[in-house]
């Protein structure tokens, strides 16, 4: 109650003060930042009345969080390259520095002009999430002895780590979800790490693209609803609603998931003999805040509460069989190629349905609905990206049913699962080491030569096995490694940087990007910084990550054994 009063007073003060409208949107959304992520509830756990985990397991989840974060930071590209990333950066910069929502025109194409100002099409949720990272970056770079040119690049590098944090949070929420659905400690840890490093989730942890955030919010909502079913505590309904509401604020099409989440809530409320009306009310309450923020965001840009300004790809002309095949089985975008572990869902779905009928219906409905929607979408491949980008949000849902399946499986099946995870890691090595736009440029498919609606749009990289990004990235990786070892290392001289530039390099230097590795320390080498210092820093980071993994692994074995003994004791 004290926290709620604090938020009410803070909002009242803002309404009465002379403050920029964009800043009001940010401050009104602060409760989302402080409450939306169930990952924080597990890193810094709030006691639960059901299935309480031991202090040792709580410590294990913290190690999991920091291990995933450390790996992501170690392999970070420390850059913002795509138009979507730069659009969000520019919007965030405008909100923080000018209290405005427009950005400089003629920099990116995904926006609209209105009354002489340029506004991006993206929803405001992602920019709100980026604000703390932008502010942290400004504070850090202000005390570093850097030129103005390098200070901006360092600021972008800090902002680029955003999804590393959300990915670490996602790993924790998936771990806790798997444990809730009866997976053992060892299996839950294995699948959580596989999600982050053995699926096409991994390369997106190096970006600020919102797909990782959507995955966290969707799984977080499912997790909180199941927690409510077990504990019947209203707060879990509110948490679930906040996750779902912020998902819509982050990407409007996330609303596709809301009817399925609400239907599950109504179903379990009836089974648990609690008021359906009351439960739905508490779950829906956060959506009022989302609607208000969205309406204000639209009005402040276009003087219209309902006008989002979006005029991008909004059609769904793709033949269903083409989109489904492309998303699941094509050599250039297929789910089962870019996330091999998900193949096991074909065998685990039945067992999970038998053990958790209502939850299985929810997960499978969410998976099918998202696949069918994006299969029809004009840009179903989410192009200029690694793997089926639009399916990143449902990747954790595909992993959840594997937990109890693997625990009940034979040793042969477990070895197959481990092999699939290793193959997945090897696949992602290509996507993590080579920036995905560079490969498309190397085969002539970017800049685009055809429209999205064209049946031959990016046909080679989508459907021709000879041009699959999986093999193509590895071929570039091997070639670039040979060039580096022979001393042929690109030299990139950053031009005078401004926040309106996507890539502060001359045209001739941009061509050299095809021969680079997408890591922070290699970019530093290309820019002329000391190779010895950079490689030493990377080596020390690698040792630290290895030590962290060793400690986490030893703790996991201990917690796993204790959990098994505890289960045996209860069964006796």
Query: By the 8 A CB rule, do 66 and 168 touch?
Result: yes
- Kindly report, residue by residue over 541-567, the tens digit of the pLDDT: 999 999 999 999 999 999 999 888 877
Please tell me what DSSP assigns to residue 111: E
Q: From 243, 283, 246, 256, select the one nearest 267 (Cα to Cα).
A: 283
What is the mean pLDDT of the segment spanning 9-15? 42
Least confident of 143-152, 340-349, 427-436: 143-152
Tokens for 353, please give them. Answer: 């349905």
Question: Residue written as tokens 């969410």?
Answer: 366
Q: Which residues contact 81 (CB under 8 A, 6 or more apart)?
A: 435, 437, 502, 503
Give the model's confidence band at 569: pLDDT under 50 very low, under 70 low, under 90 confident, else very high: low
Distance of CA 506 to the CA centre of its chain: 31
* DSSP string across 133-164: HHHHHHHHHHHS---HHHHHHHHHHHHTTHHH
The span from the CA of 473 to the CA of 489, in Å, is: 18
Q: Could you identify the residue written with the tokens 């979408």? A: 377
| Cα(467)–Cα(58) distance, integer angstroms | 45
pLDDT band at 24 (very low <50, low <70, confident <90, very high): very low
Say if CB 489 and CB 526 are below 8 A apart: yes
118: part of which helix (H) or strand (E)?
Answer: strand 117-120
Contact 214, 248 (CB under 8 A): no
Residue 334 confidence (pLDDT) above 70: yes
Burial class for 206, CB neighbours closer than 10 Å (0-12, 13-18, 19+):
buried
Distance of CA 314 to the CA centre of its chain: 22
The DSSP letter of residue 341 is G
| Span 410-424, pLDDT tens digits | 999 999 999 999 999
Q: How far is CA 525 from CA 503, 533, 539, in A?
A: 17, 10, 15
Q: Token digits for 79?
A: 């850059």
Consecutive H or E run containing 398 = helix 395-399
- Whether residue 475 is predicted with pLDDT greater than 90 in this model: the reply is yes
Instruction: Scan for tokens 């030893």, then name that residue.
Output: 554
Q: Classify residue 465 as exposed, middle or buried by CB count within 10 Å of its CB (0-12, 13-18, 19+).
A: exposed
User: What's the pLDDT band for 499 if we cut at 50, 70, 90?
Assistant: low
pLDDT digits (tens, 9 = 90+) for 349-364: 999 999 999 999 999 9
Q: 396 with 174: CB under 8 angstroms?
A: yes
Q: Is 89 left (phi over 0), alpha (psi -120 to 50) or beta?
A: alpha
348 in Cβ contact with 402 (< 8 Å): yes
pLDDT at 497 over 90: no
Q: Kindly provide the b/e burial profile for residues 231-264, where b requires at least 16 CB atoms within 10 angstroms of the residue's own CB.
A: ebeeebbbbbbbbbbbbbbbbebbebbbebbbeb
What CA–CA distance (Å, rounded) separates 210 from 129? Answer: 10
Burial (Cβ within 10 Å: 0-12, 13-18, ≥19) of residue 71: buried
Residue 183, number of CB atoms within 10 A of its CB: 24
């Amino acid at each position: 109650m004290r926290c709620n009063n604090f938020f009410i007073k803070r909002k009242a003060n803002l309404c009465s003060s002379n403050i920029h409208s964009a800043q009001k949107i940010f401050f009104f959304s602060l409760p989302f930042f402080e409450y939306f992520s169930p990952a924080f509830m597990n890193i810094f756990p709030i006691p639960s009345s059901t299935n309480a985990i031991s202090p040792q397991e709580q410590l294990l989840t913290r190690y999991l969080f920091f291990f995933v974060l450390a790996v992501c930071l170690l392999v970070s590209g420390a850059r913002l390259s795509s138009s979507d990333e730069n659009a969000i950066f520019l919007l965030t910069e405008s909100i923080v520095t000018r209290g405005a929502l427009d950005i400089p025109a003629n920099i990116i194409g995904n926006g609209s002009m209105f009354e002489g100002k340029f506004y991006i099409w993206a929803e405001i949720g992602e920019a709100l999430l980026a604000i703390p990272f932008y502010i942290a970056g400004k504070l850090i770079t202000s005390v570093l002895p850097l030129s103005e040119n390098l200070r901006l690049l360092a600021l972008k590098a800090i902002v680029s780590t955003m999804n590393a944090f959300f990915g670490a949070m996602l790993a924790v929420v998936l771990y806790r979800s798997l444990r809730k659905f009866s997976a053992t400690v060892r299996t839950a840890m294995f699948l959580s790490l596989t999600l982050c490093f053995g699926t096409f989730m991994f390369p997106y942890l190096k970006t600020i693209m919102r797909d990782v955030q959507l995955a966290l919010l969707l799984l977080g909502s499912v997790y909180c609803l199941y927690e409510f079913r077990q504990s019947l505590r209203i707060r879990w309904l509110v948490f679930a609603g906040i996750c779902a509401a912020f998902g819509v604020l982050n990407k409007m099409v996330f609303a596709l998931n809301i009817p399925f989440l609400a239907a599950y809530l109504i179903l379990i409320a009836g089974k648990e003999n609690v008021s359906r009306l009351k439960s739905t009310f508490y779950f829906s309450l956060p959506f009022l805040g989302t609607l208000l923020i969205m309406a204000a965001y639209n009005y402040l840009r276009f003087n219209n509460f309902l006008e989002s300004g979006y005029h991008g790809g909004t059609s769904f002309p793709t033949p269903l069989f083409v989109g489904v095949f492309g998303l699941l089985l094509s050599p250039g975008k297929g789910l089962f190629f870019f996330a091999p572990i998900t193949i096991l869902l074909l065998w685990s779905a039945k067992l999970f349905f038998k053990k958790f009928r209502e939850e299985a219906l929810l997960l499978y409905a969410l998976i099918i609905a998202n696949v069918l929607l994006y299969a029809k979408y004009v840009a179903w491949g989410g192009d200029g990206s690694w793997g089926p980008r639009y399916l990143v949000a449902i990747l954790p849902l595909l992993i959840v049913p594997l937990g109890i399946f693997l625990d009940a499986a034979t040793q042969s099946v477990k070895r197959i699962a481990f092999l699939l995870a290793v193959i997945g890691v090897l696949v992602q090595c290509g996507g993590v080491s080579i920036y995905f736009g560079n490969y498309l440029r190397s085969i002539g498919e970017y800049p685009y030569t055809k429209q999205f609606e064209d049946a031959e749009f990016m046909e080679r990289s989508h459907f021709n096995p000879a041009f699959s990004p999986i093999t193509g990235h590895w071929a570039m990786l091997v070639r670039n490694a040979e060039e580096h070892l022979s001393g042929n290392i690109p030299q990139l001289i950053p031009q005078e940087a401004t926040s309106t530039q996507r890539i502060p390099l001359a045209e001739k230097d941009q061509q050299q990007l095809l021969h680079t590795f997408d890591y922070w320390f290699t970019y530093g080498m290309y820019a002329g910084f000391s190779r010895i210092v950079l490689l030493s820093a990377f080596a020390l980071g690698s040792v630290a990550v290895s030590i962290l993994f060793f400690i986490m692994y030893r703790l996991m074995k201990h917690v796993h054994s204790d959990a098994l003994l505890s289960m045996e004791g209860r069964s006796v």
